[in-house]
Structure 1
Amino acid sequence: MIRGIRGATTVTENDANEIVANTKELVMEMAEVNKISPDEIATVLISATADINASFPAKALREINGWKYVPVMCMKEIEVPNSLPKCIRVMMTVNSHTRQEEVQHIYHNQAVQLRPDLSR
């Protein structure tokens, strides 16, 4: 069964170290709480708002031990008026037998306001 795990975070500045660190923290928690190993991940898609360009958020995954072969791609988030600034969104597509309603989606920092119904 293929499942999607959603996650999002924000940064306070357009800073390469903060972008990579916050993305890494988010992705690692997404995998940990959903008990996903790298070989179960089909793809990771990462979008960033236009105000984030100091680094590719996907660089974070290359720093995680065992994630060398996980396919990952970054893209620009669509610009919607009054949307959350400095936001990084992640969609992790995984092979899992977990039921859809049992998947734990992770939201950090200011991104918790995107889906308060799914935030822990």
Structure 2
Amino acid sequence: MMREALSALAIAAAAVPASGQSVSERLNDYPTEARADYVFGCMAVNGQSRAVLGKCACSIDLIASILPYDKYVQAETVLSLQQVGGEHTAMFKSAAMPRTMVADLRRAQAEAEMLCF
């Protein structure tokens, strides 16, 4: 299963770079803290084993290969604002742009889950 994920990562790396960045820059634009935060959250949900650590690390690496970090941050921000009540956050629940951002993140997460878990 891990070989399949690494193969998918290699295929994603061969994709055309986005926004003028090299493939290497695009794959490494997630700060270590963001990757670690994702892995900690993933392990909290899926278990605290060495095997799960590898799967969660694979997952964030694959997400990073699909979604640039700035898009990831935007989608995560929208998701957190959607969980807050009140009229000030209503636009994040109904506007098309936030829905698109979140949908892109959800697609990347789904692909990572299929390939890494």
TM-score, structure 2 length as denominator? 0.29
Structure of greater relative contact order (alpha carbons < 8 Å, 6+ residues apart): 1
Q: Could you say which structure has the higher strand fraction?
A: 1
Pair member with larger Rg:
2
TM-score, structure 1 length as denominator? 0.28
